[in-house]
Amino acid sequence: MSTADEIKKLNDLLKERVITQEEFDLQKEKLLNSSATTSTTDWLTLFLLTFFVGVLGVHRFYVGKIGTGFLMLLTLGGLGVWFLVDLILVVTGQFTNKDGQKIPRT
């Protein structure tokens, strides 16, 4: 079940007075924090793709950023600059997938 579906279910429970507003707010915050902070993408795979074929943008295809992947492919990683920035972001655990979820170093 998606986060949006779970929040809708909580909202229905709130309307039916099964849960209080405080319980709703607490559960909603938990759902939003747990789903929006990290990704299920494997960090090691992302790092290896970035390190070995990063100038071709393969790591961006891997995380779902297709448009910028093509741009990196066409510009050879922004002549290496974009590649280096992405490599630093991956190593520090700040690189995100297409949904904005960070891919933490494990």
pLDDT at 51: 95
For the chain, percent of residues with pLDDT exceeding 70: 92
Nearest to 63 by CA among 106, 104, 5, 6: 104
pLDDT in the model for residue 6: 83
Up-side HSE of residue 4: CA atoms within 13 Å toward CB? 0
| Per-residue confidence (pLDDT) for residue 34, from 0 to 100 | 64
pLDDT of res. 35: 52
Query: Which parts of the chain register pLDDT below 70?
Result: 1-2, 34-40
Cα(20)–Cα(28) distance, rounded to whole angstroms?
A: 12
